[in-house]
Amino acid sequence: MLQVNGISVHVEDHGSGKPVLLLHGWPDSAYLWRNQIPFLVNNGFHAIAPDLRGFGRSDRPEGVGAYSLQNAVCDVVSILDRFGIDAADIVGHDWGAAVAWFTATSHPDRVHKLIVLSVPHPLAPGTLRQHEMAWYQLFFQFEGIAEAWLQHDDWALLRELLRGNGDLDRYISDLSRPGSLTAFAELVPREPRAAHAGVTSRAAAGESSDARHLVHKRSLPGRRTHEDVGSLRERTLAL
């Protein structure tokens, strides 16, 4: 475990040579890269794969603000600092891709090469299909309801969301750890277009001509508490 940015982060550290940082998505962990790490090590790379905050064996701090992109980016930079790495190749998938985009935006000197999977550039125009697939972001705004529905009927909703993809048993095991499911729900809505991500950097401030427009001035509403929704959770589960 590494102490970074005020939390403990589990990091898989393998090999030596050119550093490559592997950032997983939701609801994965560093285990996502289990097949890529041996290949990278055998080809002269130093493979570093953290469980991002809220995931796997890493700490799960309380509160939505703990899962802002600003904190995730600070975690990445702190990991590089702890390894004494000036710049690394960074590979990101899903949520890790959003973190990778904003790491490159706010700390371009720390990124040698950027490889992004499944999440386009923050300025890429969205499609109707993308908006349809993102419905769960609104669903996850309702505290307690999202957590209850995901677990209901042996995680039936999660199974449907994932469509049989990924290591489902491992996902359920990770999500079943105390505090994990709420941490995951608080993280999911933080998309790279959201100003609430709070990336404070030269790029976000407009000092970099290549990336000054990446932070949009709009965000999703905060998660709603039990007081906000009254007995909606109970009424929902009774259906």
Give the model confidence (pLDDT) of 177-190 as tens digits: 777 777 767 665 43
Residue 138 corresponds to which amino acid? L
79 in helix, strand or coil?
helix
| Mean pLDDT of the chain, nearest integer | 78
Note the pLDDT tens digit of each residue in 120-133. Answer: 888 888 788 877 77
Of 124 and 88, more confident: 88
Rg, Å, the chain Cα set: 18
Q: CA 88, CA 114: separation in Å to the nearest integer? A: 9
**From CA 186, how far away is CA 142, in angstroms rounded?**
10
What does DSSP say about strands 18-23 and 88-93: parallel, antiparallel, or unpaired?
A: parallel
CA 130 from centroid of its chain's CA atoms: 18
> Is the model's pTM score more than 0.75?
no
